[in-house]
Chains A and B, each alone.
Chain A
Amino acid sequence: MALLLDVLSWICLVGGGFFCVVGGIGVLRLPDFFSRLHASGVIDTLGAGLVLFGLLLQAESLDVALRLVLIFFFLLFTVPTATHALAKSALQGGLEPEVDDDGGASSNS
């Protein structure tokens, strides 16, 4: 049982690390500010989420577990707030989103 937990938690930790690295690569590779926000979203959600879940499996007491769950809970509220604040202030600062694809974007349904 302990071994199974260890294996699961390692998978989550390594997976979370993987998503954080890919998010970093995305921030470097993507061409403009707004598309880079999407890459940082990967770090904030699945990257941080998997690392926290991996740590949760290693939690020794209910105290620690509760705090890890709360951290995840708060991330769900603060991450979109921060991302939206960045995007909106960029927009108001006069940065226009680059668009490659109008494919159906104008046809509202």
Chain B
Amino acid sequence: MFHLFYMSLLLALFWLGLSGHYTALLLAFGALSAGLVAWLAWRMDMVDHESVPLHLSRRVLTFWPWLLVEIVKSNIDVVRRVLDPRLPIERSVIRVPTGDMSPLRETIYANAITLTPGTVSLDVSNGEVIVHALSRTAAEEVRTGEMARRVTGLEQEG
């Protein structure tokens, strides 16, 4: 119930932010559509801690800036390789364990790997992510497990 309320609130705020019109009629439409979407999601049984990950909200604030810095660094590495006349790439496919991550954390982890240029997650199964890496440094970066540690930290209580 709490998740449903929180989801409706977020949807309403989102609508307000996008609309920019604050007349009674349009506000009513906004409330109606936010309510409708929340109801549909509830009927599809999709309102739970995975679709409304409240428990992540605070930790994400430190995870995203870190991820952005990583993205910039790996972007520069990929750009350097692409522009190098010799095209120095060492393609490899590696498997990294996700340990005992919950499905939500596994998803965040695999997405973060894909979002970083130089590494793309091909598949997630049986407690490991299969990663395609463009270069040895990119593969090493994933294998150090720094990102996995940070994603694991995301879901700790508090």
Measured CB to CB, the residues of A under 8 A from B are 19, 22-23, 25-26, 29-30, 32, 34-35, 37-39, 41-42, 45-46, 63, 66-67, 70, 76-77, 79-81, 83-84, 87-88, 91, 97-105, 108-109
Chain B residue numbers with a CB within 8 Å of A91 are: 122-123
Q: Contacts A35-B89, A101-B90, A105-B139 given; indicate if A83 touches B82 (C-beta within 8 A).
A: no
Residues of chain B within 8 A of A67, CB atoms compared = 17-18
Q: B75 in the interface, Cβ–Cβ < 8 Å? A: yes
Residue of A nearest to B119 (CB): A38
Which of B72, B121, B134 meets A38, CB within 8 Å?
B134
Query: Which residues from A are CB-within-8-Å of B34?
Result: none
Task: Tell me whether B115 and A101 are in contact (CB under 8 A).
Answer: no
- Known contacts: A22-B82, A38-B120, A46-B72. The answer to whether A84 contacts B92 by CB under 8 A is no
Q: Inside 8 A of B18's CB, which chain A residues have their CB?
A: 66-67, 70
Q: Does B114 contact A (CB under 8 A)?
A: yes
Chain B residues lying within 8 Å of A109, measured Cβ to Cβ, are 143
Please give the distance in Å from B139's CB to the nearest CB on chain A.
7
- In the bound complex, what is the Cα–Cα distance between A13 and B134 (angstroms)? 27
Q: A80-B114, A84-B111, A84-B114 are in contact. Are A25 and B121 (CB under 8 A)?
A: no
Contact A99 B92 (CB under 8 A): yes
Distance from A42 Cβ to chain B, minimum over Cβ atoms (Å): 5
| Assembly CA distance A42 to B83 (angstroms) | 13
Smallest CB-CB separation from B123: which chain A residue? Answer: A88
Q: Is the CB of B115 within 8 A of A45?
A: yes
Query: Which 6 pairs across A and B sit closest by C-beta, in order of nearness?
Result: A101-B90, A41-B117, A80-B114, A26-B82, A80-B111, A46-B75
B interface bracket (residues with beta carbon within 8 Å of A)? 35 or more
> Knowing that A84-B120, A88-B123 are A-B contacts, what are 5 other residue pairs whose CB atoms are under 8 Å apart, sorted by A's residue number?
A26-B78, A32-B91, A66-B17, A84-B111, A88-B122
Question: Does A25 contact B114, Cβ atoms closer than 8 Å?
Answer: no
Minimum C-beta distance from A65 to chain B (A): 10
Residue of B nearest to A101 (CB): B90
For B48-65 the 0/1 string (1 means CB < 8 A from A) is 000000000000000010
B78→A38 contact, CB < 8 A: yes
CB contact under 8 A between A35 and B122, given known A25-B82, A26-B78, A101-B90: no
Which parts of B109-129 form the interface with A (CB within 8 Å)? 110-112, 114-123
